Chain A
């Protein structure tokens, strides 16, 4: 890979920003990169970042698929809440909360409910033709209500060690939540890039009319991506709720849809649909999670954290903007040849 190719890559700026952030952390925060093994588990700030980012990575993966078809899913946070509530409701009613079978039933039920919610979104968008932002806004609002109904407006606390494993457990020294996110990412990459799914999704996002005339079942794919998005959100909801051993209908996944959309956009997928990059999305999600953690560890006061985050995001977006770069470079060098577009 030549230097020029790297510079042109869509992933160049998010990677650069991540490196800069980590460098800052290295300089300003002692022991940031200290990773130690304790009781056979990995511990340290980088591991915490990965753990903290797992739900966001999951939600952003689903969001990427939805956005690639030209849609958007605002309901992911609510689906997280519903999923966690459902699982905790079932576990709370178990005679033995530590029964592995009982927890498995709870997990399957929670994910199944998420799939139904995704199907609902897909139905509204693909069959009834409601604009995605409106269609998913319905569930974004209604889903919180549903979650509160499930928990009867209370926070349900559970004491279940098998359930705790999902969000806070370790396997082979690695956090289970990170492994789950990695597995879902791997499966999604395989499904989209090793089959023709990715191409067909990009085609639907590029032009639904032309895709239909080329024999692509645009409607079916649209329903599929909303189901996939809800499934990802459902899993993320389980991780979140397992980590705190409770179901909180109000705060679980609150505003995560915005972080997820941001992650997708940072990763180089356009909101208008078409080409998508799962690697980019993952980077974007990691970047956002790193921002939160680094802000604390380099000593930025909590009240300024959001401002810090905003500044980084603005700088990143400017760096990614072809127009802005052209403005910067035009001043210094009147270029003989246009090299604005990147052949894919």
Chain B
């Protein structure tokens, strides 16, 4: 069977960071007119491979051939000029500039050195129309949702005459219809001969759109497969390299009946708590040992609700009771004093502190709670940090490297460790599994289940209904910044049931 010559060929790529071999002799190729999925767990080397390909990192060994010619990019701009466009997981645009400026930044249409604004706006609008987006191109980008910003990033990448388009987890912040829209665009681009490198942690999406799959594990190449010839279970096995015991175990975990838990005292009760423009007044009760899931679409008020409980934002109406006593949640610090912990969905900007070490990041919240005058003894630190590095399998397991050198999933684990050592009564976790791989996801889910059976209350926020269903005793459904329904997670509740509520907003 004749394959067209590869548009991109990487052989024996080697990349070493201090303390970590990120890529160890990895081969990778892209054919024109295909959608190629790059799969692997956190820390498998996916992001590093992409950064090497786009010139963000140099390589320590190996060759990169683009259209048969040796290339060595020293920067993203060079890669872009050679026809490799990238859309990163986290939107890399200037939110304060207009949509049109973002699309044409660095290559504005000019005449006699002057930027032709009207031309730029016209072309932007045309470009977005091709993606079925109807935006005011002169409005600042930050007036649009994250999902729309992502689409603008893609529009920008598409407009640059791209031979290779890299989409690094473009779907992690999109809802179903936006994903479908994106896939339509991807297929259209593929049919016009563009080679697309697609990274996603959603297996269903991979199987829906990808023609071919390359699997990495621990910085090494496991293999390249046709999607049609690789069953999902096989793929997952190749990615995590071990049996799916943990996942399956979790799957069969008997859900404790909701009534059993409700008999205990509620540890938190919110009564008509709300904040203008963020979340409409809601009632919520959380008991010790209970996992409460928050389900809803992006922008439905999930995060806003969680932030109110933690005091990250101040409520402007309603009452909050903790252990039966009324409290006002003025600040995160006050919430922590009441035994509440909150792990943000934006782990890079609101979670870990990149230049500090893993150890420092883990002890940060506990240290903050103790105050600066009472440092945690070094021995105690080592003990706590060592324990959680082991328990959560944080990799690499060296506590003294800057946390920014860790992969996303491992940073998430560091963040969880930070809160777990404060031994909270209520742990609020916002999208802990977003953008991380199957193995780490299963570990985090297992951890949540364990914590709750140990008596900790967990407020679990996730865009993935399956995950919410699997873990929660009780599910709060949000829609358009309102809490619309509370469902006891008994046998007859399934994803369809929740989706109907999200879609209709009404209780049946």
Q: CB within 8 Å of B: which residues of A?
A: 194-197, 199-200, 202-203, 206-207, 209-217, 221, 274-275, 335-339, 341-344
Contacts and interface: CB of A to CB of B under 8 A. Distances in A.
Contacts of B371: 196
A216 B366 CA distance: 10
B401 interface: yes
A203 B364 CA distance: 8
Interface string B339-361: 00010100001111111110010
Given A196-B376, A214-B368, A335-B60, 4 more contacts: A195-B372, A202-B355, A203-B353, A213-B332
A309 to B, nearest CB: 31
B372 A344 contact: no
A344 B332 contact: no
Contacts of B370: 196
Nearest to B363: A199
A197 B356 contact: no
A330 B352 CA distance: 33
Contact of B375 (A195, A207, A214, A337): A195
Nearest to A202: B356
Given A206-B354, A211-B353, A213-B350, A341 B18 contact: yes
Contacts of B351: 210, 213
A194 B344 CA distance: 30
B374 interface: yes
A230 B210 CA distance: 61
B364 to A, nearest CB: 5
B333 interface: yes
15 contacts: A197-B372, A199-B364, A203-B353, A207-B353, A207-B354, A210-B349, A210-B350, A213-B342, A214-B364, A216-B368, A274-B355, A275-B355, A338-B16, A339-B18, A343-B18
A200 B368 CA distance: 7
Contact of B17 (A202, A206, A215, A338): A338
A154 to B, nearest CB: 44
B402 interface: yes
A121 to B, nearest CB: 20
Given A203-B356, A343-B18, A215 B400 contact: no
A343 B402 contact: yes
A16 B374 CA distance: 37
B466 to A, nearest CB: 28
B359 to A, nearest CB: 10
A contact patch SS? loop
Nearest to B371: A196
Contacts of A206: 353-356
Interface string B244-268: 0000000000000000000000000
A217 B125 CA distance: 45
A47 B440 CA distance: 60
Residue in A194, A199, A207, A335 with the greatest tally of chain B CB atoms within 10 Å: A199
B15 to A, nearest CB: 8
A195 B368 CA distance: 12
A196 B350 contact: no
Interface residues on B, range: 35 or more
Nearest to A339: B18
Contacts of B61: 336
Contact of A213 (B18, B312, B355, B375): B312
A338 B418 contact: no
A343 B18 CA distance: 7
A211 B355 CA distance: 13
Contact of A337 (B16, B357, B398): B16
Contact of A215 (B16, B18, B332, B375): B332
A195 B360 CA distance: 13
A213 B344 contact: yes
Closest 9 CB pairs of A and B: A206-B353, A215-B368, A196-B375, A216-B368, A197-B372, A215-B336, A215-B333, A214-B365, A196-B372
A209 B346 CA distance: 11
A212 B313 CA distance: 11
Contact of A343 (B19, B356, B365, B418): B19
Contacts of B328: none
A300 B402 CA distance: 45
A338 to B, nearest CB: 6
Nearest to A219: B331
B95 interface: no
A143 B61 CA distance: 58
Contacts of B342: 213
Nearest to A342: B18
A209 B16 contact: no
A23 to B, nearest CB: 33
Given A194-B375, A336-B61, A343 B400 contact: yes
A107 B352 CA distance: 44
A344 B404 CA distance: 12
Contacts of A215: 332-333, 336, 365, 368-369
A99 to B, nearest CB: 37
A344 B360 CA distance: 11
B367 A199 contact: yes
A74 B157 CA distance: 43
Interface string B405-426: 1000000000000100000000
A2 to B, nearest CB: 15
B355 to A, nearest CB: 5
A209 B17 CA distance: 28
B356 to A, nearest CB: 6
A195 B377 CA distance: 10
B344 A196 contact: no
Contacts of B505: none
Contacts of B368: 200, 211, 214-217
A336 B401 CA distance: 22
A202 B367 CA distance: 13
A196 B374 contact: yes
Given A196-B375, A200-B372, A213-B342, A344 B402 contact: yes
B400 A196 contact: no
Contact of A217 (B15, B333, B364, B374): B333
B373 interface: yes
B367 A337 contact: no
A344 B356 CA distance: 9
Contacts of A344: 355, 357, 400-402
A337 B21 CA distance: 10
Contacts of A338: 15-17, 58, 60
A137 to B, nearest CB: 24
A210 B352 CA distance: 7
